[in-house]
Amino acid sequence: GDRFEIDAVAIRDLSRAAAFEQLRAAMNQGQQVALGFCNANMLLKALCSASYASTLKNLVLLSDGIGLDLCSLLFRGRFFRENLNGTDFVPALLGGDARGRTLFLLGAKPGIAEAAARKLALLYPQHRVVGTRHGYFAPAETDAVIAEINAAAPDILLVALGNPDQETFIAEHAHRIDARLLMGVGALIDYTAG
Ligand code: UDP
């Protein structure tokens, strides 16, 4: 099938090309998609915590890493079609998208998202970073952060707060965030900034 379910967690089993196609179609139609890259760490957390499991239910999950593959092998006798992690997936999604998208980068230490934005402008001239915000804010600042994102109204919101925080942020707030595709991307902003 095109999904693997273990306990309360459902992970899509898609090729990268099929995932790209579905995400671009959703964006083009103005639908919102909240996406997570589920690694073994997140899966274990979800299996041990009902609250994290219900958080993950709000996200479309892709399979990130060998831990998920081993789990899939044990339970259904085969690997996932592809290993999809944010650090490879997002650059390929952006690079292969002829249609210009707007992006907001949320996360990493102060200054890093801005450096990543400058790199993205060089790498993907068809896209435009319309906002950045570092990821070290207090819960009381969450509304202000969301207001900043909504003022920019990006097509794509990259959330790099580490897990579980990035998935929780997306799951809790996606309904009031004006962005089409929200993705929890781990170390991608650091990695892009170089
Ligand atoms: N991060 C953040 N705010 C936090 C904690 C982490 O913005 O409160 C950022 C961190 O700077 C890094 C990214 O989240 O850019 C991923 O963090 P880390 O590698 O610690 O998380 P992991 O995904 O490996 O658990």
Residue range 66-94, pLDDT digits in tens: 999 999 999 999 999 999 999 999 999 99
- For the record, the structure tokens of 60 come out as 């479309």
Which parts of 107-164 fold into alpha helices (H)?
A: 112-123, 142-152
Question: What values do phi and psi take at 184, rounded to 5?
Answer: -85, 115
Instruction: Give 135 Cα–ligand 1 centroid separation in angstroms.
Output: 8
- For the record, the structure tokens of 145 come out as 């952060």
- For the record, the structure tokens of 27 come out as 């964006």
pLDDT value, residue 93: 98
ipTM over 0.90: yes
- Residues enclosing ligand 1, CB less than 6 A? 107-109, 135-136, 160-163, 186-187, 189-190
Which tens digits make up the pLDDT trace of 151-166? 999 999 999 999 899 9
